[in-house]
Structure formats: C-alpha cells, structure tokens
A and B are shown apart, each in its own frame.
Chain A
C-alpha cells in the first residue's frame, strides 16, 4: 500500500516506499527539495529539521522532527512542512527575513534547520513554550556562535499560519493505516492496542518502532535491513497521559515533549532532566516508554523514574503484567520483555510531601548530550531521619539501577555530613563503572559521590548549579 501525506496543502503519494527509507532522502532525492540538509544522519545536528503536522480539533498540531531518521511510512496520514514551504510565494517570511538581515547565517548549511525549528516555535508547535535556546538545542551551527540566531528567534516569536488547506487535506486523507508488505519487508501500523497485540502475537520477532530516534540509526549508520517493523505511533489508545494525585501514567505512544509538562509537575528536577534529553526534535519523536523499552545502560529517563518508584505495564499474549521499572532491566542489552510482549505504559508515582527528590545529569555538554553519570535520589524524611531511600544511577553499570549499599547507608540516618560520607563511600560497593568515551571509571565514581554532596549542599540551601547562576 502507498504512503500518503499532505505537503503544502496537496496530497503526495509514495506508491512503493522502502519502509526504512528516510524522509530526508525522499525529500532531497525524489522531491528535489534540497533545502533540507543532511549534516549527520543520526538526529544530532538538526540540519534536516522539518515540521510534521497532525489534525487536532480545529488546527494542525505541528512538531519539529529530524527527517534523517524518520522512516517514510511514519508520515502516512500526516502533513509536512519544509523550508521551501515558507517562501512559496517568492518572498521570505518575517522570520526568514529577520534571520537574513541579522547575520544569522554564515555558511548557511545549518540555516534551513534553524528556520524550521524557530518557525515551529513561532506557530505554536509542540514545545513552543520553551525558551528559544531550548527550541534550537538540537540544531548545531559551527559558524555564528548562535547569537544572531537567538536574537531572530526572540524578535519573531509569533507568526500567523493559515493551515486551512492542510487541515482540509488531512481530513480528506482519512485515517487508514499504512500497513503493508513492501517487497520482502513488512510494515505494520496498527490503530489500536488490540491490533498491536495481535500483530505481535503473530510476529513476535518484529521490531517495534515508536519515534525511530534509536532504530533509525540502525539503518542510517548500521546499514541494517529490518524486515518486520511495527509502528506504534498511530495507536490511538497508547497516547494517553493520565495525570492524577497518585501520579502520572504515560502510554507507550507518549513522546517526551508531550510528557514534559506533566513530568515537570511531578517534580521540577524531572522537568529539568527531560529538558536536557536530546534536542527538541528528538523529544518530539522519542517516547518515554521507548526510552525504557530499548534498555539503554544510561537512560536518561529510567534512572530518574526508578528512583521515583515507577512501574511498567507490559502486555502480551498472556495478558498484562505490571513490574517495578528497575526489574525490567536484567543485564546489558537484556530486558524482561517476553516474546510477543510490548510495553504498554509506565506509571510514575507523585512524590509525597515528605520525600526529597534530587535528580542530576552530568554530561560533557549541557544540552543534547548523552549522560556520563545520572544520579536520582528520592529520600523520604520523617522527623529529621531518612526513613526510605530510593537511589538510582545511570551510566554506572550495564543497566540503569538502584544503589542498595548507598540506600542502606542513608536509611535511618539524618541528612548530615557523616551520613553523606558513608553513603558516598558505599557507592564504591554498588558500582564498578567502566571507562568509555563519555568518562573514565574514576571520574564516574567521583562524580557519583559528588552528586550526594550536591544533594547535601542543596538541602542546606547552598547554591550548587552553574545553570542557575547563569540564569
């Protein structure tokens, strides 16, 4: 079956798509829209940023994504906006004109990506409530030093966008799935979780794809041929965000950017952590559950969610089961997901009034960088004594996991220097981290201990964050 999407108000049909062909290659090669650039082909530089839209009530809900790691069938039934869309009338839109006049481009290669990120912010795309610098954290520029780009983003912060033709075309396109057989390969796009469960029962070896921010690289960098893929991005009943006094439940289809406000309300540290996961384009594609399901040793979401006591619900041929999130991670590259099972949702409990939460991510660069060490602490304190301690780390072991010796050193103690000293020492029993490209073993263990001291200083009201000082 064909992939159909709306581009500038018109329906475009791709008759026989390669299911793991990228949107970027299609734009540049077939449509000859060469304004969208390939800078890295792994979702890290943003030169390929385009906007993808879906009909939502009376408007089109747009989000900026990296076209380089977006598989073609993922845009089926959606609208697309590229840099060429903005100046179709032959004149620059106000944002483009402002950037051109403000020295916001030098070599110009990254510029279309910045234009699309900032245009998205100006028209209220997903994440547009974020400051300009956060909206372009997933766009790299090597020439300008960013100042003129940031200024242009501030100056042209809101733009009118007439989406009526796009909306009409999207509605006319209907909601059929893009499932089909493409040569030797199969792409399933179920619309309900029951359909998803049925597909997986029949094809237990199928690769589940939500945002493709991880699996995309298997294709663009690993050059792997993936035979059977199940795309869960169109499963309507997996998109729910249920926020209650008890906590937040996120369906498997909920993207990081969608979950960001609710997670921020659970705790500001969690919101700050999510802000630093990937660039906005990545958070606009990647799901919280996908970040769990793929079993990365680092996270970034899982260590924090483990410390908060999150529970994971899986659904399979035998029905549903709910486990503590930490129990899902068995070993490096090995998770407790049985044949035919899929992660259905994650539930994150709201921390109680007596629970002190501290989450810190350490990376070489603040934004859009993979963690060297992530420490998450949830300490329940009653009458000056720690009565419960959930401590979890990422980047310290083969999986994100708790630190039992450290927790034991904390429980029953007051938060004071002696407790922190012994809890920090206990981390040496909990972890024997590896040296890799993001940090040495020695640094990791020292930094992990430092995060306990940061917690202690914070509890005393001492300024510990260079980001807060910078304002």
Chain B
C-alpha cells in the first residue's frame, strides 16, 4: 500500500473534523465504563491496602471484613487460581500481596460487596499484622542496599572522560526532577461479566486491552480466547492506564470468576493516587566541557530514577530518558549513565513522554549553565549545539536524517520577536525591584516508535455494509486524543465518502487481536496505516469487480465525493457496495502494519530505535515575584511539527493540552513521600494540576509547514507526547527570571523541578548567596 502517493486532501484544505464524540461529551451522553447500566446482582469491589511500605505479613484477620453487612466475599492471594501478577514485563506486580508488602498502599485483600460503600467501609476493617523493615524511600536508600530493577545502563559515544579533561571550560551541576501524577479525570475502573462456559467479558479503562486480556487469562488459568476486553473510551489516560489499569480489571475478573456475578471496581480518587504509579522522579548529575563560544565538547550525565517497587515499564522509560538526553544537540563525546533504583514506593510507570522529558530537561539545563558561565544568550548556546551536517549522529549511533530544528528555531525566533522581547525584559528587570521576568526558547526532538521493536505493529478490521455504511475497528484506544476521528477520516478518504458514513466501534480484543498499547504517540501512525490498508484491500476488490462489470481497467475506477465513477458512469457508493455484495465480493478485510526500518541493540545501546523524529519549539515568557516565589506564565509562542496534519484542530488540541500538562509537571504538581514511604499528595486538595487561569495569558500555536520525510500515513507525524516537552521553556524562563536577582553572576540558580513558589524562593536564596 502506498498511502502517501495519493494525498487525502490538498494541504490547504485539511479537514478539522471535531472529535467524533464531541457532541456526546457536551451532552453527557458519551458512555464511560462506569456509565454502563449495572445488573442487579453486580458486586462492587474495594482493596484493603497496606499500611506499611516494606514488611512481612505475619497475620491476616479478615473476620470483621467478612461480617460487615453487604459483604459477599473477601479474597486474598491464596484465592488466585493462576498467576498473581499484573506486571507487564517482569511478573513482579502482585494483584494481592503474598506474604510481604513492598510499597505503602499495596493491595493486600479484596472485598466484594453489594454496594460500593459497603465494600469501601469493610475494606478498612481488615486486621493485618506486619513485621516492618526500614523502607527504601529515596534513591540514596535504594543505592545503599544495591536495590535496582535492572543493571545500570550506559550509552556512550567517543571518550567523554578524555574530552572533558581536554575541554577549555568545564562545569558540573545537579538537578532534581519531581514525579507527576496523571490525574486523569476518570479514575481507574474495571468491570467483568460472566459469559457461558467459563468465558469472561471485561470492560476496562485501559490503553492496552490485549495486555489486560492476557493478564486476566493467566490470572484465571484460562486461554486468552476465553477473555474478551473492551474499551470504548477512557476519561483521560496519559500513560497512566497503559499498565496500571490491569490491576482493577484483574480484581473484577477474579470476583466474577469465583462468584459468577458481574463485578465492578471503580477506584476512589485517593486510593487511585496511592495505589497506581506516576511519572518517575529523577536526580540528575552532569558534567560538561565546552569551548569559548559555548559549543559542547564533552558531556557526562547520570540519571538516577526512583522506579518504585516493581519493574513495570521502567526499563523502556529509562532508556527513553537516555535517548532524549541529547534533545536537538550534537554531543561529540558523551556518556549517559542510567541508574534504575528499586524503592519501596508505588511503582513508577508510563506518563506522556515516557522518560523523554526528564532527559531533555537535563540537557536544556546544561545549555543554560554553559550560557550563564559565558554570559551568553542561552538561545545562542542552543543554536550553536544543534545537530547539523557532519554533526548528525546521536549518542545511540543513529543518524539524524530529518533535522529541521535549526530552521524551525530560526523561524520561531523571528515570529515570536524573541530578541526584542529579551531586550525589553532586561529593561523591565532593571527597573523592577520585586518582579523579574524571564524568557526562554527551548526545542524538542522526540523519537517516534516504541523502542521495543516488536511493539511497532497494528491491526485493523474494516467492514463495508451493503448499504454503503462502513464500520471500522482497530487496536488503538481512544483516550481523548482524537485517534478515532483520525482513523475514521483515513478510512473515509480511502473510500471517498464523507466521514459521517464511517462508524468507529469500541476497541475489542475479539475484533483485533494481539495489539500493542496505545502509547508512544504511535496510535495514528500504526492504526491509521493498518486501517488504511484494510480499507484499500476492500476498495481494490470493489474496483476490480466494477471494472469487470463495466469493461474498464481497475485503476480507472474512482472513489470520490460519496460516489464511484466507473466506465463513464457515476454511481452512489452505496449502490457500488450493494452490487459488489450481489456479485459475491467480500466487503470485509483486516489490515496490518509494521513500522519498517527500525532495529536496536539494547546491550550496546546502538542502532536505529526510531522511524523518525517529531520536532517543535516554544518561547515562554514568565514573571516571578522574588519576594514570595509566585510566578505566572505571560506569553507562549509555539511552532510545532506534525508533518502533514491529519486533523489540524485535533493536533492543536494535543499541542496546547500537552504544553499545559508539561507546565503543571514543572511548576505546581508536587509528589512527595514521607520517611515511611507514605504518599503525601493523594487528592486534588494537595495535588495541584493547572486550572483555567494557569495557562499562558497569551498563547500562539503554529504548525510547521512540512511533511514527514518517511512514508507514514499521509506523511503525518505523531503528536501525542512531543508537545509536553515544549514546557521545558517555562522552567528555563523561570530560571532566567531568578538569575535576574543577581545580574552578571556567571552561574545558574539552583532550581529544581517543580518550580513551586517554595522551590523558587530557595533558588533565589541560593543564587544570591552562592
């Protein structure tokens, strides 16, 4: 199939169809998992949670739980017929604790009751006795006990040690980067219904229905064919429902298996935040050598991640941190070390960017540090270090073939009026004793593909009915990102029919099997191409049939405007479908796609892990109150590369939403654990995502006018994750504003992320005194 050969639509008239469910969202009629009618015999579930972060369980008295009115059953690890695991890779994530607990809030037992309130109340009555051990909460504590989820990883090019020693200027620094809770508005939920003959049907709010299917099958000792998982939509996910949704689906399936009754686990928000993983927090140490102009000659980076109590997806996430520690910059001699520390905190997991944001923020920090040392505009330092001709090999040995960062940054510098604004800010800062402004332009280069190569595949199933209406199913899940409407457009275009003629149906493991998670920004790239291939297979059959009937060549048959032109006649698409059906032509097809050209050798960390890169850049201007540390984002200019957009309105929505989510990560969202390993921020009362007034007062988003060099679906580029990292510009701008409290000082304020008012005040004090 050659999707790129026939563009869907002229570039200047790209359709911005609204989200396929927009009319349902605003009417309250979009159905989420919890909105399904509840059968009268449905059971509601709750976990009894561990009060300890690291302990042996020495006793379990659940008599009061069982006696609580409404409780139907209580289960422990002993009640699991198959494998007690919901871990995606390492089989180390227990559904229910078995003999030991490894993080605070870990589920210990499961209550099934006739009402949700009864289940929740009863779950608090369990008497668990523990033999506690001192928990490893921090990365230092884990390192002291040599507790790691896997061996340290090293990615290197050249000889960083020698180049560092030879560099005319050297600097070193550290940076702490906080974790982030997904705070999807729809909490975790799973429900299970019994089928006949041992089959089970699961509705899960999951980005990865196939994995839920497989885990439930293993949990219950069933073949995968007996478990069907369905996901119509999620109320937000952001990576937080890639592996984390399985726990709730598994619990519901276990109860249904034992009781033969439908069971639903809708997790309370506080429990959700305590029980499920977050973005990894990091400690970063760096050393850099550079020349007089600020060119980086040598860079050493050490990333120490708090991975939590199990492996989850941490290997891939930390790999992606290493892959993005170069961002857009050529690092001639470089060594990137990555420590993946296993702590007694909830297991860290996927979150939009998947480790990339932390790697990228670290190298931006290095650029800022070099600029501070040399008294240069940080943008000058960034520009001098960009990939370019003969400076185009990444630390993992991949040649950057599609580098548009230099042109994109130059254009944004101009359209944002960066230089004039920077001068105006210097003047503002000179006359304002309390308020200081800062501005920063930071770029993004994000690698597109799952770095685990085999995940880069997708399937789709397309039916054309005899009335000409079309039904599409694919392995991707809808979490708000607009995947369904993008795929519907692709299929509609293949048949030349209006998008309203295409019905996209809930993602189900019985329609498209063995799917990958909807993750890594790959949803439209993979599933869009698979659906295109399915549609084209049917279209080709229809064309061949009609060509035979009309005595013309198949490639003379045209599908456009809801009609088919064949042999000089124009017939409605529905008529064409009906005739093909009467002519005994199959109007159903699967479609498949596997990303070409990618290969990666993990032991050496060399290869081509990415099919292509998505680029972008942002200019952020902020103002900081140097008395209190409060700050505000004043203006943001974004230029972002989505290739040839599949839907500009949807893509802009991803860019704006991703940016603000990234801003929250770097400013207001604080995740802390106490010394006993208890999470302190587990509700919206104490965990603060941006509100409507926190976004930039002025925001401009432009799409880069260029197509993907690679033959992706209609030459588009992935858009889900990359925009989040545009918010690095906010952090760098805050740092610049803080630096203005001690003008002329050739050092970087000791600012850590998130830049809360408290962190900003600390950095101001540190910068002034250092």
Contacts and interface: CB of A to CB of B under 8 A. Distances in A.
Q: Taking each of B185, B186, B670, which has the highest tally of chain A beta carbons within 10 Å of its own beta carbon?
A: B185
Interface stretch (B415-423, B476-484, B567-575, B611-619): B476-484
A367 B37 contact: no
B244 to A, nearest CB: 15
Interface residues of A, number: 88
B31 interface: yes
A223 B268 CA distance: 12
A285 interface: no
Nearest to A95: B26
A146 B692 contact: yes
Contacts of B688: 364-365, 369
B28 A112 contact: yes
Contacts of B668: 364-365
A454 interface: yes
Interface in A440-461: 440, 443, 446-447, 450-451, 453-454, 457
Interface string A459-471: 0001111110111
B185 A150 contact: no
A2 interface: no
Contact of A42 (B269, B632, B699): B269
A139 B692 contact: yes
Contacts of A35: 27-29
Q: Taking each of A28, A107, A109, A464, which has the highest tally of chain B beta carbons within 10 Å of its own beta carbon?
A: A107
Given A42-B684, A143-B480, A144-B657, A100 B25 contact: yes
A181 interface: no
A369 to B, nearest CB: 6
A34 B28 CA distance: 7
Interface string A75-110: 000000011101100001000110111011111111
A437 interface: yes
A440 B697 CA distance: 30
Interface of A is mostly: loop
A39 B687 CA distance: 14
A249 interface: no
A143 B22 contact: no
A104 B270 CA distance: 27
B14 to A, nearest CB: 14
Nearest to B655: A145
A140 B19 CA distance: 20
B631 A136 contact: no
A447 B685 contact: no
B620 to A, nearest CB: 13
Contact of B25 (A111, A364, A365, A438): A111
B600 interface: no
A463 B429 CA distance: 12
B432 A463 contact: yes
Contacts of A92: 23, 26-27
B124 A223 contact: yes
Given A40-B683, A362-B630, A470-B634, A106 B184 contact: no
A142 B665 CA distance: 12
B707 to A, nearest CB: 23
B249 interface: no
Contacts of A38: 34, 187
A293 B301 CA distance: 54
B452 interface: no
A105 B19 contact: yes
B634 A469 contact: yes
B624 A466 contact: yes
Interface string B89-104: 0000000000000000
B656 A105 contact: no
Contacts of B656: 144-145, 147-148
B235 interface: yes
Interface stretch (B171-179, B369-377, B577-585, B754-762): B754-762
A408 B684 CA distance: 39
A145 B659 contact: yes
A107 B185 contact: yes
Interface stretch (B53-61, B220-228, B646-654): B646-654
A142 B236 contact: yes
Contacts of A36: 28
A139 B121 CA distance: 28
Contact of A470 (B124, B433, B623): B623
A141 interface: yes
Contacts of B690: 145-146, 365
B693 A133 contact: yes
Contact of A83 (B28, B236, B237, B629): B28
Interface in A100-158: 100-101, 103-112, 115, 132-134, 136-137, 139-150
Interface in B682-715: 683-686, 688-695, 697, 699
B653 A144 contact: yes
Given A142-B661, A366-B693, A454 B23 contact: no
A143 B233 CA distance: 14
A370 interface: yes
Contact of A108 (B233, B634, B650, B680): B233
Interface in B597-655: 623-625, 627-632, 634, 649-650, 652-653
Interface of B is mostly: loop
Nearest to B266: A38
Given A41-B269, A109-B236, A446-B761, A469 B632 contact: yes
A185 interface: no
A39 B187 contact: yes
B660 interface: yes
A467 B660 CA distance: 18
B35 interface: yes
B430 interface: no
A132 to B, nearest CB: 8
B661 A103 contact: no
B32 A109 contact: yes
Given A109-B186, A142-B238, A457-B433, A437 B29 contact: no
B628 A450 contact: yes
Contacts of B680: 437
A100 B186 contact: no
A463 B435 contact: yes
A40 B238 contact: no
Contact of A103 (B19, B29, B481, B691): B19
A284 interface: no
A103 B117 contact: no
Given A457-B433, A463-B435, A142 B183 contact: yes
B165 interface: no
Contacts of B184: 107, 109, 142
B427 interface: no
A471 B235 CA distance: 33
Contact of A466 (B30, B32, B435): B435
A300 interface: no
Contacts of B27: 35, 83-84, 86-87, 92, 96
A390 B656 CA distance: 45
Interface of B: 18-19, 21-32, 34-35, 37-38, 117, 120-121, 124, 182-187, 233-238, 268-270, 432-435, 479-482, 623-625, 627-632, 634, 649-650, 652-653, 656-661, 668, 670, 672, 680-681, 683-686, 688-695, 697, 699, 756-758, 761-762
Given A96-B26, A100-B26, 19 more contacts: A34-B35, A42-B269, A45-B684, A82-B28, A92-B26, A105-B19, A105-B25, A112-B25, A112-B26, A142-B689, A143-B480, A223-B121, A223-B124, A367-B693, A370-B685, A446-B761, A462-B433, A463-B435, A470-B697
Interface of A: 28-29, 32-42, 44-45, 47, 82-84, 86-87, 92, 96-97, 99-101, 103-112, 115, 132-134, 136-137, 139-150, 221, 223, 360, 362, 364-370, 372, 437-440, 443, 446-447, 450-451, 453-454, 457, 462-467, 469-471
User: Which 6 residue pairs across A and B have the least CB separation, nearest first?
Assistant: A35-B28, A107-B480, A109-B235, A108-B25, A145-B660, A106-B480
5 contacts: A105-B21, A108-B25, A372-B758, A443-B758, A447-B758
